Amino acid sequence: MSIYCDDESFSAKVLNSTTPVLVFFTADWCGPCKLIAPKLHQLEDFYTARFELCKVDVDISQDIAAQYSITTMPTVILFKNGNAMTRIEGPDIEKIESTLAANL
């Protein structure tokens, strides 16, 4: 089940997590984000309990978006032990799949 993170909860839910977290930077107006969201949920189901999917709405959580220099939508970043391991910009679901396969 995906979680929602905002500026206040990001540190607790992502940086302090002992489970890898795939952070999905998105917005309601982002068409490509809507296209890959179902696939991200399928990956979450496939890798049950091996990672968490965290959605961050860049319009609401502008501090986190700025901290990670989010300029392309969608952007996903895989965090492990509080560290940003891999960043994927754009709706490249194949790259997201291969990143998860290699890091989980």
pTM of the entire predicted model: 0.94
Mean pLDDT (the chain) is: 94
The domain that contains 28 carries what CATH number? Answer: 3.40.30.10
pLDDT tens-digit series, residues 34-58: 999 999 999 999 998 899 999 999 9
Q: Is 5 a catalytic residue?
A: no
Backbone angles phi, psi at 75, to 5 degrees: -130, 135
**5, 14, 21, 33: the active-site residue:** 33
Range of the domain at 61: 3-103
pLDDT tens-digit series, residues 27-36: 999 999 999 9
Task: Map residue 86 onto helix, strand or coil.
Answer: strand
Is residue 1 very low, low, confident or very high in pLDDT (cuts 50, 70, 90)?
low
Strand-pair category, 21-26 with 75-80 = antiparallel
**14, 21, 30, 96: the active-site residue:** 30
Domain count, the chain: 1
What is the separation, in whole angstroms, between the first and last Cα of the chain?
Answer: 17
Q: Is 54 a catalytic residue?
A: no
pLDDT tens-digit series, residues 11-30: 999 999 999 999 999 999 99
Distance CA 56, CA 64 (A): 8
